[in-house]
Amino acid sequence: MFTGLVSDVGEVKRVDARAKLNHLRIACSYPAETITPGASIACGGACLTVVARGESGNRRWFEVDVAAETLARTTARHWAPGTRLNLERALRLGDELGGHIVTGHVDGVAEIVAITDFDAMPHIEIRAPADLARFIAEKGSVALDGTSLTVNRVEANIFSVLLIPHTLRVTTWGERRLGDEINLEVDLMARYAARLADRNRL
């Protein structure tokens, strides 16, 4: 379980493509001794399991396996050496829940369709996959590339978010451009509410 509050920006250093999964090494700033094999780290919004950890020079790293389902449903299929990723370690009991409840189970890939300036902050319009758009509500929460953001407006399958300067400084959002694909996880509460509504209509 995560909060969508990015705690580091990592960089893919190596991709070993295997038959049914990709094996990745990701450089990070987390102390290597605090990364436990078997732990979960959200990478670009996708919850991945640490299978190894270590240090190279002055940079720490961890390794993960990205299975076929994750490759099919997320932007992980495009990750290559040099790709920068928003990272968040799993929530611990007692941690402050400052964002919203994020599972790290990416629902699909969305696309940036417009970027405009609003009071020196980027206002970004995003096209959600049609089957996920109904879970996105104005003033609700979404996780985009692992970042907890508030939805400003929704029109059909297009929704918008506003990025404050702090978010631009501590995440990869300052690198995003028109046409970029981003990992989308809809709000867990919205998904359950929609499921209950569907059952009540039966």
Q: Which two tokens stand for residue 81?
A: 């050496």
62 has catalytic annotation: no
Active site residue: 7, 39, 49, 133, which one? Answer: 49
- What backbone torsions phi and psi does residue 76 show, to the nearest 5 degrees? -60, -25
43 has catalytic annotation: no
105 has catalytic annotation: yes
Cβ(122)–Cβ(134) below 8 Å = no
Cβ(60)–Cβ(27) below 8 Å = yes
Nearest to 8 by CA among 24, 20, 26, 33: 26
49 has catalytic annotation: yes
Active site residue: 27, 28, 40, 159, which one? Answer: 40
Cβ(146)–Cβ(6) below 8 Å = yes
40 has catalytic annotation: yes
Alpha helices by DSSP H, listed for 3-56, are none
Active site residue: 150, 193, 194, 197, which one? Answer: 150
Active site residue: 7, 32, 105, 190, which one? Answer: 105
143 has catalytic annotation: no
68 has catalytic annotation: no
Active site residue: 28, 46, 47, 143, which one? Answer: 47
Residues designated as active site? 2, 40, 47, 49, 67, 105, 150
